[in-house]
Amino acid sequence: MSKKKIRIGVISRVQSDTIDLALKKEAEKRGHTYTKIVFSTEDVTDAENILTQAGLLEYDVLYYRTSLGYVWAQVIEAYLSKHKKEALNLQYITHAFLEKKTYQTATVSRENVLTPKTVLDTSNDFKTIASKLGSPFVVKADVSSQGRDVHLVHSEKEFMTTSSKSLRKPCFYQEYIPHEYDCRVHLVGGKPVASYRRVPNSGEFRSNVSLGGRMEALSNEDKNALYPLAEQVAKILNLDLHVVDFMRSKITGKYYFTEVNSNPGWNKWNPNATGVNMNSLVMDYFEAYARG
């Protein structure tokens, strides 16, 4: 018996090779219909009509890839729930601020997941923050990706160009955990399916692949420690198709949660570092989901 051909709708308005090329190619190779659903304007007072006209209820699988904002994401989620449908990765009624790193950190730390010490501060004063976190410390934008707006601050002079005030966006501050690499765990259906470590370039503390970080296979020791942690985070935050990042202190050997990424890319990764075909895993998950 041939497999059922399914209709897949990906809700996003950002360009991404992962969803625009790689995942689309895998879907079409299997004979599925694959559509990117883009909402360029949102009339929240006429949501029922707009979402009905978009045909959301006609898809076998809906996959949300962020970028619509908290309000419109909640509107879509409520509409789908009303019609007894759901979209994968759409949980903004329960976790409205999931895209905010401070929300992620505060939520998992309440459940005893180890995180770097994290502070919110409005003083914009280097000495005040350093007295709480030590020096150097890390400045991060609350919503960002690919290592943008993440800075390691050693001095008041550096702080003057990287604070919330100078960056003109909400930032928070974290203690610096000395580490040689960080670890990324990919989830499908809230379960760890792939992982690798990211090693930064010499002289760079950020290990993002987009900034030149190297992807390497994760050791069995790291996997055995991190997969249960990633699954714990997934349960706390109701994660589905996400990635969870950790770093391992080179001083204590302890693992620290750093963030969740709701919009992960995998089209450019090194398969030798993971040993899996992520497009195939995700499409298998879509097919299983559509079969119920």
Domain boundaries, given as residue ranges, for the chain: 7-95, 117-175, 182-261
Question: What backbone phi and psi angles, to 5 degrees, belong to 283?
Answer: -65, -40
Does the bond joining 200 to the residue before it have cis omega, within 30 degrees of 0?
no
Written out in words, the top-level CATH class of the domain with range 7-95 is alpha beta
| Token pair listed for 266 | 């995998």
- The pLDDT assigned to 134 comes to 94
Q: How far apart, in whole angstroms, are the C-alpha atoms of residue 57 and residue 54?
A: 9
The per-residue pLDDT for 160 is 83
Quote the pLDDT of residue 274: 85
pLDDT of residue 1: 39
Question: Are 151 and 138 spatial neighbours (Cβ–Cβ below 8 Å)?
Answer: yes
Cα 289–290–292 angle (5° rounding)? 65
Q: Helix 101-109 crosses helix 220-237 at what angle (to 10 degrees)? A: 100
117-175 and 182-261: same fold? no
**pTM given for the model:** 0.91
Residues 10, 87: contact at Cβ < 8 Å? no
117-175 placed in CATH 3.30.1490.20: yes
The per-residue pLDDT for 212 is: 59
**CATH number belonging to domain 182-261:** 3.30.470.20
Split the chain (292 residues) into runs of 10 and give each run's mean pLDDT. 83 92 96 95 90 96 90 95 96 92 97 97 89 93 75 88 67 92 94 90 64 81 97 97 95 96 81 86 96 89
Which value, in Å, is the radius of gyration of the alpha carbons in the chain? 20
Q: What is the pLDDT of residue 218?
A: 92
CB-side neighbour CA atoms (13 Å) of 91: 17
Q: How many Å apart are CA 78 and CA 76, to the nearest integer?
A: 5
